[in-house]
Structure 1
Amino acid sequence: MAENSRHKAKIAVFISGAGTNMAALLFASRLPDAAFEIVLVASNVRDAGGLALARLEGIETFAHPHKGMTREDHDAVMESAAQQAGAEFIVLAGYMRILSDAFVNRWQGRMLNIHPSLLPKYKGLDTFARAIAAGDSHAGSSVHIVTPELDAGEVLAQSVVAIAPDDTPETLGERVKLAEHQLYPRAVNEYVSRGFDPAFLLGRIRKLALGLPETHERESHGSPGFRVGSEKSGKFFAHFSDQHHGTPHIAVLVKTSSMDELLSLVETQPEVYFKPAYYGASGWIGLILNRPGVDWDHVGEWLERSWRAVAPKRLTRMMDIEDEF
């Protein structure tokens, strides 16, 4: 996690059983470099073993059986508990429920799972038996982002475990579980902290900015900048700022329509905007990136708006025509 930020991501962990991966996450969350804290352990099983451990360690718990409820209704109950606890992310750790698409979509990019195979191999159940039957040399686990399609989200990290000639699904599973306890906390830590990592944030800005027509990157005052037009006569529409001029912010600087707009935004939403030194006098505003809950669609809209402010008319007309369709 970036040293400039003291923010720790708040996580709700969903379990259905003993909660050994939850325990690995819990104890890792107390290490000095931890980027997250567990604010809730929730289960669909009232007597799940992991709940007792969480309570012993002073973590808030919640349980609500799913029997007799629709999938959507049970998801809503679990989601409400996570929200009331202030969770920013949900981490599934042996949660034996298929989630409704609507629930998953509401937490897009903020829900993680660990699956006992080297995805994309062996989605679903009986992964160790399938790996042994296939004659694979290795099995393992994958941490991935949860999407509506089962076990199909972006893989963030994997642990690889050798398969012994005499392995059974049970013996193999025991060794993979040990690897999972190392893998999951590290993968969660890296994922929730990347919103405070300048390299990650620059990568996202670069992808959005260079996705606009006829753009290129050029350094400006020692920082990455983005221009529209030719290399010779192009104009800057965005600058990336990493704690420049003594500010604590990692930000993208974009053009406003006027100083009045700039000052109004900074006054009404100081957690999102600031007036940057040097650039602010020219009507550029800083959009803070190293904060929880950044709306990247909003960032993209600002980049396009700033691009339109300086792009040649032939390009803006072309985009206007495309927007009509």
Structure 2
Amino acid sequence: MAKAKIAVLISGRGSNMAALLYAAKADDCPFELVLVAADSPDAPGLTLAAAEGVPVIGFPKPTAKDKSQFFEALDLRIRESGATYVALAGFMRILPASFVSGWDGRMLNIHPSLLPKYKGLDTHQRAIDAGDSHAGCSVHIVTAELDDGPVLAQTPVAILPGDSADSLAARILIAEHQLYSRTLAAFVTREQQPEWMLNRVREIALALPQADEVISHGMPCFGIEKGKKFAWFTRDHHGDGVVALLVKTTAPDEQATLIEADPDRYYRPAYFGTDWVGIRLDRGANDWNHIGDRLRASWRQVAPKKLLGLMDIAEDF
């Protein structure tokens, strides 16, 4: 499977960027760096990245007047690089909401505290002053609120007697280098994990009126409460190695048409007949909007007429 393309944003030496860069050199690493960008042409991390063959760009430090143009230009260069994710690695700029929203759910940051403690700056001294037994670091999804996105992973680091902010920071930095690459790898491959796929299917299916979930024939399945089933989630069922969603078709020849058009994605599920079709979820690059449409269409095939009428009225509004 193709590696995820990462753009890394830095402001200085970029030690966390370097940790990501060298982790990406492993053959089994699921990501690669396609751009390192800095808010200064003189950021030392740019020299390292360029020497390792990663494209770099250093923008002049923006003033308050040209801040919006700075982030528009930065966003353009990231997109031109082909990056699908952004990793902040010591990027010392407050991001505008417009920039963050363009990378919603696809931008990570590493922060030197055990969030939600000590958002912002001076995290090490604040932990020492509070008498905490541990400080640490966190990797989180970036949202418009500073250091406030969902935390993906943390590493606690013990505060030793006599620690200064600098001595504590040095140990936490080692933890950061270990944590960031591991968490980023897990994050960019999460959609390939069967449990993530099932949760995504579950989220869509159970949002439909009167839908419920049960286990049947060893598989999670979704149906109308005390009624017919409209979807099944199969994961290595009978040792076939397949992760797929089974949904009802909406026309007699639809199964054959879908399989003929994309035999790598669609298949005829055993024992289900011609009015069901399997959608392989383990092929990657899943179109979840399309999958949601298929689930809703399948639900309509089994929903009682009264429930369909209420659904149609609700959609009209």
Q: Assess same fold via TM > 0.5.
A: yes
Once the two structures are superposed, the pairs formed by residues 181-200 of structure 1 within 5 Å of their partners are 181-200=177-196
Alpha-carbon distance, 1:242 to partner: 3.8
CA distance in 1, matches of 2:117, 2:238: 49
Of residues 110, 120, 124, the one that matches 1:124 is 120
Partner residue of 2:305? 313
Alpha-carbon distance, 1:225 to partner: 2.0
Structure 2, gaps ≥5 residues long: none
Counterpart secondary structure, 2:189:
helix
Partner residue of 2:135? 139
Query: How far does the alpha carbon of each residue in 1:180-203 deviate from its partner, in whole angstroms, 9 at most, with x for none?
Result: 011001100111111111122112
Partner residue of 1:42? 37
Partner residue of 2:25? 30
Of residues 36, 49, 56, the one that matches 1:54 is 49
Partner residue of 1:3? none
Counterpart secondary structure, 2:128:
helix
Q: Does the 8 A contact of 1:25 with 1:184 survive in 2?
A: yes
Alpha-carbon distance, 1:277 to partner: 4.0
Alpha-carbon distance, 1:154 to partner: 0.7
1:180 aligns with 2:185: no
Partner residue of 1:282? 275
Comparing 115-124 with 307-316, which one deviates more in the overlay? 307-316
Name the CA shift for 1:173/1:199 in 2 (closer, same or farther; >3 Å).
same
Alpha-carbon distance, 1:164 to partner: 1.9
Counterpart secondary structure, 1:227:
strand
Aligned length, in residue pairs: 315
Alpha-carbon distance, 1:125 to partner: 1.3
Structure 1, gaps ≥5 residues long: 1-5
Of residues 15, 20, 25, the one that matches 1:20 is 15
Alpha-carbon distance, 1:217 to partner: 2.5
Of residues 229, 246, 253, the one that matches 1:253 is 246
CA distance in 2, matches of 1:111, 1:299: 24
TM-score by length of 2: 0.88
Counterpart secondary structure, 2:204:
helix
CA distance in 1, matches of 2:123, 2:140: 16
Alpha-carbon distance, 1:261 to partner: 5.3
CA distance in 2, matches of 1:13, 1:266: 40
Alpha-carbon distance, 1:7 to partner: 2.4
1:92 aligns with 2:119: no
CA RMSD of aligned residues (A): 2.7
Alpha-carbon distance, 1:122 to partner: 1.2
Partner residue of 1:160? 156
CA distance in 2, matches of 1:224, 1:118: 36
CA distance in 1, matches of 2:243, 2:203: 17
1:238 aligns with 2:231: yes
Alpha-carbon distance, 1:107 to partner: 1.1
Name the CA shift for 1:17/1:272 in 2 (closer, same or farther; >3 Å).
farther
Q: Does the 8 A contact of 1:129 with 1:169 survive in 2?
A: yes
Name the CA shift for 1:267/1:44 in 2 (closer, same or farther; >3 Å).
farther
Amino acid at match of 1:309: Q
Q: Does the 8 A contact of 1:15 with 1:92 survive in 2?
A: yes
Percent identity among equivalent residues? 49
